[in-house]
Amino acid sequence: SGEFGIRSAALTTSNCSAADGIGMSLVRLHEGTESQLLHLELDPFHIHKDRGAHRFDLDDVAVEAGDRVEYRVDPGHGGGNTACDWSYVRDLSFNSTTEHAGVD
């Protein structure tokens, strides 16, 4: 879980008029294979509700020894425009919910 967004300064900078937001992904890497666990997009330049911090949660993900979970940011909307993609993540946390079945 965590929160992400685009810094408010980007919304008021005149050089950011062509900006189109970002994409955010959580990706699991297991034995050389990538699996996208979550993908969200924000465009606070054009969609008012996309402004500010946005919480994300992801439950019930199996992560084994040697796996990695990566937080990634991309240009969003399938494009290549990275103008003013001043993103942030905060309060990022991973919690283990491992159960020990069969243990007396």
End-to-end CA distance of the chain: 32
**CB-count exposure of residue 101 (10 Å: 0-12, 13-18, 19+):** exposed
pLDDT at residue 78, rounded to an integer? 72
pLDDT at 84 over 80: yes
* 3-state DSSP assignment of residue 59: coil
Question: How far apart are the C-alpha atoms of 63 and 28, rounded to whole Å?
Answer: 8
Model confidence pLDDT, tens digit, residues 48-74: 999 999 999 998 888 889 999 999 999
Total-model pTM: 0.83
Q: What is the pLDDT of residue 104?
A: 44
